[in-house]
């Protein structure tokens, strides 16, 4: 890991020479990228800030005292504009209570802390039986960017309409191979005898992924080799959109597998409207954008690369599945509360109660699970 890509951010109000000593020690151990925020200090402290700049520290000034939170925001915004290559920030106090060697230890282990927390997001999917029976699955993709890739990154999702479980998620391009990766995860998560109703937008790549994973091998008469046959029970519908500029002017559905009557009756049997729509998965994608900072639109929190984007998404999915109640899954009960708030894993009957963030953080994770989940750990920047 390159220490120049880590910033030590120090908010300061009327500092003394302990700030100078701290910046000097940070330079000696290799942490030369130091940013100091003057949060409206008195004129007598100007000499301290001038001396700090002799050790290559950048100093930003507030005319008035705005508080520590505003000082941190000022520093982070300034770094993102002037140093887009930064991958991490460590904050320290200006009164000398944080030793330079302790700051170095935090910098050297920060990515292992991220991986450990993200492993807690992956481990529940291994701890609990995710072989579920999805009655209807809806697929969609959302687009984002990472700092180390000039091209756009696509995040593919598959959502169970009834339980709101996000059964599969894949990060990649918008290609046939990526669609197959997503559908392979779906095939692994579904029970062996479960064959849901598939719906998606008008992207034809889903059709090839579905027919490649749900079927059987058979040898036709007079054939030399076995051939792959899609399951005759497959039901797949697409909702296609015609746009005029940025607005959707017309919607229509087509049936790629099965019949319209069977799909409509199957959706109505699940207490749905019977119409082919992508509202559930689009709403789930919007929830992910609001929940996971690197997926937000016009955000400063762009992920450094695909690996870090995956870390953020895995942690966000753990919170979405185990901690965040879904309003549409609320059920009425007897008692003063009158309703029971449920998470997607509660609706899928995988757990009995809603987890808190503390429960998720205290979940025992076997040693080395992140080595299996993140094979690129040693190359993490």
Residue 344 lies in a domain: no
- Residues 91, 149, single domain; the answer is no
Rounded Cα–Cα distance for residues 158 and 181 (Å):
11
Residue 171 placed within a domain: yes
Short-list 69, 75, 192, 114, CA closest to 376 = 114
Residue 13 lies in a domain: yes
Summarised one tens digit per residue, pLDDT across range 295-337 is 998 887 888 888 888 888 888 888 999 899 998 899 988 888 7
Rounded Cα–Cα distance for residues 47 and 15 (Å) = 10
In a domain, 110, yes or no: no
- pLDDT at position 121 is 57
Do 71 and 94 meet the contact criterion of CB atoms below 8 Å apart?
no
pLDDT at 118: 58
**367 in a structural domain:** no
Q: Which domain holds residue 135?
A: 129-304
In 3D space, the residue among 349, 338, 200 whose CA is nearest the CA of residue 278 turns out to be 200
Q: Report the CATH number that the domain containing residue 141 is assigned in CATH.
A: 3.30.420
The pLDDT, as a whole number, for residue 367 is: 54
The pLDDT value recorded for residue 379 is 33
User: Could you report the per-residue pLDDT of 164-180, keeping only the tens digit for each?
Assistant: 888 889 999 999 999 99
Regions of the chain where pLDDT drops below 50:
127, 129, 369-381
Q: How far apart are the first and last CA of the chain?
A: 5
104 located within any domain: no
Q: What are the backbone angles phi and psi of residue 370, rounded to the nearest 5°? A: -70, -20
Q: Which spans in the chain are helix H?
A: 17-28, 46-53, 68-82, 100-127, 176-189, 205-213, 260-269, 279-291, 306-322, 344-347, 357-361, 369-373
pLDDT at 111: 60
* 73 in the same domain as 143: no
Three-state SS for 303?
A: strand
Residue 244 is predicted with a pLDDT of 86
* One domain, residues 156 and 297: yes
**Is 109 among the domain residues?**
no
**Count of structural domains, the chain:** 2
- List Cα–Cα distances, 265 to 235, 269, 278, in angstroms: 12, 6, 17
d(CA 381, CA 305): 9
- Whole-number Å distance between alpha carbons of 277 and 94: 56
Which CATH number goes with the domain that contains 19?
3.90.550.10
Does the predicted model carry a pTM greater than 0.85? no
């Amino acid at each position: 890991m390159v220490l120049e890509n880590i910033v030590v951010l120090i908010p300061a109000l009327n500092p003394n020479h302990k700030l100078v000593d701290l910046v000097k020690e940070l330079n000696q151990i290799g942490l030369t990228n130091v940013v100091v925020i003057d949060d409206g200090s008195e004129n007598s402290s100007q000499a301290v800030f001038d001396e700090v700049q002799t050790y290559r520290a950048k100093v930003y000034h507030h005319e008035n005292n705005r508080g520590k939170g505003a000082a941190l925001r000022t520093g982070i915004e300034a770094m993102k504009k002037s140093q887009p290559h930064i991958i991490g920030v460590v904050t320290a106090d200006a009164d000398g209570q944080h030793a330079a060697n302790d700051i170095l230890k935090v910098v050297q282990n920060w990515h292992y802390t991220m991986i450990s927390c993200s492993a807690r997001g992956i481990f529940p999917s291994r701890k609990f039986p995710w072989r579920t029976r999805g009655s209807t699955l809806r697929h969609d993709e959302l687009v984002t960017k990472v700092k180390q890739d000039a091209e756009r990154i696509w995040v593919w999702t598959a959502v169970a309409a009834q339980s709101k479980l996000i059964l599969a998620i894949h990060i990649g391009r918008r290609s046939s191979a990526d669609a197959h990766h997503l559908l392979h995860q779906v095939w692994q998560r579904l029970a062996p005898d479960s064959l849901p109703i598939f719906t998606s937008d008008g992207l034809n790549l889903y059709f090839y992924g579905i027919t490649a994973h749900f079927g059987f091998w058979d040898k036709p008469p007079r054939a030399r080799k076995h051939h792959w046959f899609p399951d005759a029970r497959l039901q797949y519908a697409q909702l296609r959109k015609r746009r005029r500029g940025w607005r959707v002017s017309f919607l229509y559905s087509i049936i790629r597998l099965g019949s319209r009557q069977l799909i409509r009756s199957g959706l109505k049997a699940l207490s749905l409207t019977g119409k082919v729509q992508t509202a559930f998965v689009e709403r789930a994608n919007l929830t992910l954008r609001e929940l996971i900072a690197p997926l937000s639109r016009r955000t400063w929190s762009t992920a450094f690369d695909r690996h870090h984007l995956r870390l953020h998404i895995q942690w966000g999915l753990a919170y979405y599945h185990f901690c965040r109640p879904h309003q549409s899954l609320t059920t009425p009960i007897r008692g003063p509360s009158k309703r029971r708030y449920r998470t997607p894993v509660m609706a899928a009957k995988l757990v009995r109660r809603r987890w808190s963030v503390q429960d998720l953080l205290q979940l025992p994770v076997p040693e080395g699970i992140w080595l299996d989940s993140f094979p690129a750990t040693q190359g993490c920047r």
